[in-house]
A = this chain, B = another copy of it.
Amino acid sequence: MYIKLIPVAASCDVTDLAGTTAVVFDVLRATSTIVTALASGFRLVYPVAEADEARALAEARGFLLAGERGGEKIAGFPHGNSPLEFSAGPAAGSDALVLTTSNGTGAIRKAAAAACVLTGSLLNARAVAAAVLREGRDVQLVCAGTAGEFSLEDALGAGFVLVEMEQAAGGLPEMDDLAMAAYDLARFYSRDPLAGLRAGRHGQKLLRLGREADLRWCARLNRFDLAPVFTGDCLMVPGVES
């Protein structure tokens, strides 16, 4: 097993994904929101790159619609991209969510060329590590990034998955230096993951937007024991829906 970290999904070479397990990280906040929703009673999450497409899908199928651009809820959308909006589970109506965000949902769709696509975050690092080890393939840790730039918190999420893989397997697999740097970052912030989320520019921006509660939520390491899988269409928890 060889592990490679892609620092920005936008510059990901999709031909490299063939035959691998890809794990997509948009820790602030898309992949944290996805795992929160699926852990809280939502059955399916549809990641959609474009806002118009998301709205059309939600209307056609009667799904809940959520979307964010630049850290803020899309005008006219009933929900934004805060995990706290979905932590109480679905209200009456649909238990399927359509989600479109600035970076994460496009990254998930781009990673679809892999043999298996998971979404990772601090919230489910251990569950993702176990799933990656079960799959047994080479791994691409795909950091969504922010507006085409590397984001610290995505590498931190990848690093925590590597820390959990080491714990579970009794050693680290071979990896490239970006993955090693992410692993070291996670060890650096292991006692205070929230400090890691605050250190990056996107975390700083969300704090300025009043989203400290979101950062605190996203910093809760191993809060959920599930590894969402992308089917090419939607995200689900294997075994819950097939």
Which residues of chain A (117-169) have a CB below 8 Å from chain B?
A: 149-152, 155
Which residues from B are CB-within-8-Å of A184? 152, 185, 188-189, 199
Band of interface residues on A: 20 to 34
Contact A199 B187 (CB under 8 A): no
Min Cβ gap A219→B in Å is 16
A sample of 22 inter-chain contacts (CB < 8 A) reads: A7-B7, A7-B150, A7-B178, A149-B177, A150-B176, A150-B177, A151-B177, A152-B180, A152-B184, A155-B181, A176-B201, A177-B201, A180-B200, A180-B201, A181-B181, A181-B185, A184-B188, A184-B189, A184-B199, A185-B185, A185-B188, A188-B188
> For residue A178, which residues in chain B have a CB less than 8 angstroms away from its CB?
7, 150
- Residue numbers in B under 8 Å from A155 (CB-CB): 181
How far is A184 from B176 in the complex, measured between Cα atoms in Å?
A: 18
**Please, which residue of chain B has its CB at the minimum distance from the CB of A196?**
B184
Q: How far is the CA of A170 from the CA of B65 in the complex (A)?
A: 47
Contacts of A176 in B (CB 8 A): 149-150, 201
Q: Please indicate the chain B residues that have their CB under 8 angstroms from the CB of A199 in the complex.
A: 180, 184
Alpha-carbon distance between A150 and B176 when the two chains are bound, in angstroms: 8
Select from chain B the residue with minimum beta-carbon distance to A5. B150
Interface centre among A180, A181, A184, A200, by most B CB within 10 Å?
A181
Binary per-residue interface labels of chain A (181-210) against chain B in the complex, 1 for a CB within 8 Å, 0 otherwise: 100110111000000000111100000000
Complex Cα distance, B201 from A149, in Å, reads: 24
Q: What is the CB-to-nearest-CB distance from A153 to chain B, in angstroms, rounded to a whole number?
A: 8
Cα–Cα, bound, A199→B155 (Å): 17
A188 to B152, CA, bound (A): 15
- Chain B residue with Cβ nearest A4: B149
The 7 A-B residue pairs whose C-beta atoms are closest, nearest first, are A188-B188, A152-B177, A177-B200, A150-B178, A184-B188, A150-B177, A151-B177
Q: How far is the CB of A16 from chain B (nearest CB, A)?
A: 13
